[in-house]
Every structure is written in structure tokens, then in C-alpha cells.
A and B are shown apart, each in its own frame.
Chain A
């Protein structure tokens, strides 16, 4: 209360004493304010106008660059399809999409810019237009020569009025004369420019029919000779820069060695499975049986404490058996070996509580391929349940010509990061060692879609 009254009194006194001073201060403030704010506005306008345009320019460049990088997967698909269709080659198609994050997001931008595969396609586009020139140019030249020869002969024979054609180009101050005879064509530019300088530049073309035809044939021959070399080179470019096989190429000196490596892996798994089955699993079962027998004896003797202790031992033993079973299961599923992918996968999904549909089109595939697909599905289901919190999944496998395609979808939360965890890397390795390709599309919020293609005889 006191303070407020004091403040009020002070204010009142100040108002009275400095009325003139206040007006003066206000005047100077407003007067100097004009040039200052104008100057500031000017500077701001200058900065804004240039700045905004340059910011917009940078943004546009960035977006265009991003869009180009983002579209590279389609270029790769198109080019691989073109090689396969036109050369009847069997380069394994690639799987897309390459990018999980949306285009207009920081992660999306980073993903696209840092994508090695996109830059490889850029490199491909630039290097792929060089060699075809060796075929394209001679062909176009040959066609051009041939066309001129045909047209001059036609004009000479069927349109005699146009044998000698003079076109006056008034502005130019000269004329173009074209004269035709059955063997040659003269095109000449004669005259003077407006400045009075005479023009008789080398515009004098002579197309002797025989020379023209010979040149055309020669050029076509060159083009045809170069064609297989160029085609092979182009195909190699596609293989090296676009297909996923390029990754495999780095590791393999021959396809045989790679096959062997896969086979050795399978053999190892089979051996471990057999060792565990005949060893640990059998021993645990026998231990369980003996505990069970002891339990019966204890019960008969009415030794309840012993019986209870044995019941605990039995429970631990059963848990150990279950753990070993889960471990061994994926190593060598008997159903896979005997009945193929469909039976094995259907059995696999039965073990999970979420709803998983399995659709397999095609009978039996190469055992290494079957095993890889089985293990990938197993991994994907585990990820779907554990990390994606999926409630349903679908697995689709189909064979078309010599390509097996696999698609695993879930309705989970997405956001799977390929760089984290070994599971995804294993998936990639399993596919690429067989010469295939695998992509994981998993935007935040889901769904997660895993696509793979694997070549198979």
C-alpha cells in the first residue's frame, strides 16, 4: 500500500517538472528515428531481396538434386530391364524402394544424399552415354548420307524444275544455290553480307552417289562391328554399377567358390545340429527320464522332500531342453529339407502368436536358396514381433522365370534401422551371397516391407 502511494506521488512530480524536457526528448527520438529506420529498412530489403532469392535458389537446387538422387532407383530398374529385355541377359533385378524416410524430411534428405547406390547410378548415367556414341554417330551419319543421296536422285529424276535451286536471302545479301545432278549435290552459299563483305565460305558440299553409298556402308559396318563390344561394355556397366551383383563381385573370384562358401555354412549348421541332437539334447532327455524315475521312487517311499527337490530339478531340466530346442530349431529344419519352404514356413508361423499368412508359388528351389529364405523369414518374424509390435504379417514367395521374389510385410510401427543390429545385416548377406538383392522399407509409423530377389535355376 505504502509503496504504491509513493510511486504515484513520484510519477506525478516527474510529470509536472519535466513536461518540456519530455516533449523535446520525444521530438528528437521521432526525428532521428526516421532516417535510422529507413536505413535499416533499406538494409533489410536489400538483405531480404537478395537473401531470399539466394535462399530460394539454394533450396531449389537442393530439392532438384534430391529429386534426381531419389529417382535414380527408377533409372536403375529401367536400365536393368532394358538390358535384360533387349539383350536377353539375366541380370537379377533389384528391389526397391531404396528409401524409407519421406522425401521432405531431414532423415529422408540425408538418406538420399548418403545413398551410395544412388550415386553409383549417377556415375552410370554419365559413363553409359559415352560408348553408345561409337555406334550411334556412324549410324546417324550413314542414314543422313543415304537420305541426301536418295533425295538428290529423286529430285533429279522426278522434279527436274528443282535441279538448280537458288534461294535469295535478301537480309543476308546473298543467296544459297543448290544444284542437283544424278551423281552429286552441290550446296553453295554465295553473296555478300550487309557490310559488303563477300561470302563464299566452305558451304560447298559434294555428295557423289558412289562415295555416299560407300561411306554409308562403311559407317554402318563400323557401327555393326562396334555393336557387340559396346553392348558388352554397357552390360558390364549395368552389372557393375546398377545391379546388386556388383557387391558380390567384390568378394568372389569365381561363382564356384562362393557356392562352396554357402555350402560350407550349411554343412556347419547341419553338423552343429547333429552334435546337439545326439549329444546335449539326448543327454538332457535321459537326465529328465532319470529324474522322473527317481521321483517315482521317492513317491513310492513317501519321501516328499526328495520328491519336491526332484520336481524342481525336473523343471530346470525341462527349461534347458526348451532353450536348446529353440536354438537348434532354426539350424536345420527337417520340414524344410523334406517338404520345402511352404511346409516349413507354415510350421514356423504356427509357433508365433501373431497372425502370419504364407503364400508360396512354386515347388522346390535350390536348397541354399530355400535355407536363406527360411532364415530371412525367421529373422523378419522375430523383428516383427519384438521390435515392430506387429499384429499380423504376410509372407509371399513366387518364382518367375529364373528369379525368386520374396516379400514380407507387417503392420507394425516401422522405423527399422538397417545399420543397427546384426539381424538385418545377416538378411542382406544371405541374399547378396546368392547374387540377389534385398531392401528394407520401414518408415516411422510403419509398415515394414522387406523385399528380396534371388536368382535361381
Chain B
């Protein structure tokens, strides 16, 4: 896979390049400023853009803007993996607002779990969606916002556990209920959030996306 890497701290740029190299992904260009991103993507037409959010020139959300710019100007499904020191649901909403295909948004800490990070970027490059569990956890806390408000307390609890990546059995163990009632709850949650006919692995991500896009 050919990757354009945007990260202003040289140390991190090198670290990420090493990790990608370990898995035979080539960093074809690495840039240190958000204003260079679009040019680099145009020039090298990579399979994936990995960008930090906080980057020069303003050191705020420039990387995110650059990623949105790439998707707006080059292709609406251009795969972007956005990394950040902080998770903001606001940014997640912006990223997913124009479509969730080929979008990744992860806390920088996730890179440390290298296998799953590589898995995530490969999924994004293939048009999938990867959203940091923290985004979902944040959403769970804001129970007053619709449509999560339509969920019962128990359903919210289960959704939060789903967001943490727990299996049905795991959820059942935490809540001291049997697995079949967990399944029942989950199907209620998904129908309330309007998520039907998807593979179970993808459901919790979709639940979050559905919510973020409606915000």
C-alpha cells in the first residue's frame, strides 16, 4: 500500500514510517504542514492518507481540514486515516458528515497496538470505517441527545459495552444476564437507531456513525 503521511513532528513521522515499513506499506511522501497535503496527494496518488489533526499553519484542526479538502477535491471516497492526541466527537461528525466510506479516526495511542492499527488502516483503505471507541464512549455519556435518548438505560449500558468492543457473551457476563437477552437488547438498540441488515462486527461502529451523521 502506498501512503502519504502528514505529521509535523519529525520523531513521530519517522516512527510511523517504520511501523508501516514493517508491514510493507510504503510512505511515498511525508509532509509537515497541512497546506502541503493536497499537493502531495495529487502528486503521488496514494492508496491512503494518514494525517495528524493538529498541524501547522494554525496548529488547531488543519490536518482535519486538509483531509476533508482531499475528499472534496480529489474523490469523495478517498481513504483518510485521521490521528489525533484528542478525540472530539465534533471532528468525528465533520469527518463522517459527507459519507463514512474510507474514513478512519483514531487516537494516536492506538498506533501502539500495531497489529490492530495496521488492520484499521487496511480496512479504511478498502473503503471501511474505523472510529475510535472513545468517540462512542463520549456519545454514550450524552444521553440527553436524540436519538440515543430513545434508548432505555439498560440499552444504553449495552451499547456502551458494545462500543468498548465487548462480545455478546462479555456483555452478558458484565451485566449478569444471559446471552439471549443481550441479543434481544442489541436488536432493539439497532432497530431504534435504524441499523438493519449489517454484519454484527460492523454494528457498533455503524451505531456511532448513524448518530454522528444525524447530529
Give the number of residue pairs across the A-B interface with Cβ within 8 Å: 89
Which chain A residues numbered 300 to 350 have a C-beta less than 8 Å away from chain B? 314, 317-318, 321-322, 325, 328-329, 334-335, 337-339, 343, 346-347, 349-350
B9 touching A289, Cβ below 8 Å: no
Which chain A residues numbered 271 to 316 have a C-beta less than 8 Å away from chain B? 274, 277-278, 281-283, 285-286, 288-293, 295-296, 314
A334 touching B143, Cβ below 8 Å: no
- Which residue in chain A gives the minimum CB-CB distance to B9? A282
Given contact pairs A334-B61, A338-B61, A347-B88, A285 touches B142 in the complex (Cβ within 8 A): no
- Which residue in chain B gives the minimum CB-CB distance to A329? B86
B74 at the interface (CB under 8 A from A): no
B19 touching A293, Cβ below 8 Å: yes
B111 touching A289, Cβ below 8 Å: yes
Tell which of A296, A321, A334 touches B114, judged by Cβ atoms closer than 8 Å.
A296
In the docked arrangement, what's the CA distance between A283 and B85, Å? 13
Residue-wise interface mask of B (1-32) relative to A, using a CB-CB cutoff of 8 A (1 in contact, 0 not): 00000001101101110110010000000000
Given contact pairs A277-B54, A292-B112, A334 touches B19 in the complex (Cβ within 8 A): no
Instruction: Please give, as numbers and ranges, the residues of chain A lying within 8 Å of B88 by CB-CB distance.
Output: 335, 347
B60 touching A337, Cβ below 8 Å: yes
B59 at the interface (CB under 8 A from A): yes
Chain B nearest Cβ from A22, distance in angstroms:
82
Instruction: Please give, as numbers and ranges, the residues of chain B lying within 8 Å of A355 by CB-CB distance.
Output: 143-144
- Which residue in chain B gives the minimum CB-CB distance to A333? B86
A171 at the interface (CB under 8 A from B): no
Residue-wise interface mask of A (61-102) relative to B, using a CB-CB cutoff of 8 A (1 in contact, 0 not): 000000000000000000000000000000000000000000
Instruction: Please give, as numbers and ranges, the residues of chain B lying within 8 Å of A339 by CB-CB distance.
Output: 90
Which of B15, B138, B139, B144: most chain A CB closer than 10 A?
B15
A11 at the interface (CB under 8 A from B): no
In the docked arrangement, what's the CA distance between A176 and B139, Å? 91
Tell which of B54, B59, B61, B111 touches A288, judged by Cβ atoms closer than 8 Å.
B111
Chain A interface residue number, banded: 35 or more
A7 at the interface (CB under 8 A from B): no
In the docked arrangement, what's the CA distance between A352 and B140, Å? 10
B90 touching A335, Cβ below 8 Å: yes
B89 at the interface (CB under 8 A from A): yes
Instruction: Please give, as numbers and ranges, the residues of chain B lying within 8 Å of A289 by CB-CB distance.
Output: 15-16, 18-19, 111-112, 114
In the docked arrangement, what's the CA distance between A285 and B52, Å? 13
Instruction: Please give, as numbers and ranges, the residues of chain B lying within 8 Å of A325 by CB-CB distance.
Output: 85-86
Instruction: Please give, as numbers and ranges, the residues of chain B lying within 8 Å of A26 by CB-CB distance.
Output: none
A357 touching B144, Cβ below 8 Å: yes
- Which residue in chain A gives the minimum CB-CB distance to B84? A334
Chain A nearest Cβ from B109, distance in angstroms:
6
B192 at the interface (CB under 8 A from A): no
- Which residue in chain A gives the minimum CB-CB distance to B94? A339
- Which residue in chain B gives the minimum CB-CB distance to A351? B138
Pick the 5 closest A-B CB pairs, nearest first: A288-B112, A334-B60, A292-B114, A286-B15, A282-B9
Contacts A/B (CB < 8 Å), 26 sampled:
A274-B59, A278-B8, A281-B85, A282-B12, A285-B12, A285-B109, A285-B112, A286-B15, A288-B111, A289-B16, A292-B113, A292-B114, A293-B114, A296-B22, A314-B112, A318-B112, A325-B86, A334-B53, A334-B61, A335-B61, A337-B58, A337-B60, A338-B60, A350-B139, A351-B138, A357-B144
Task: Given A283-B11, A285-B112, A357-B144, output 18 extra A-B contacts at Cβ < 8 Å.
Answer: A277-B54, A278-B8, A282-B11, A289-B112, A291-B112, A293-B114, A295-B114, A296-B114, A314-B112, A317-B112, A322-B109, A325-B86, A328-B85, A329-B86, A334-B54, A338-B61, A347-B89, A351-B141
List A residues at the B interface (Cβ < 8 Å): 274, 277-278, 281-283, 285-286, 288-293, 295-296, 314, 317-318, 321-322, 325, 328-329, 334-335, 337-339, 343, 346-347, 349-353, 355, 357
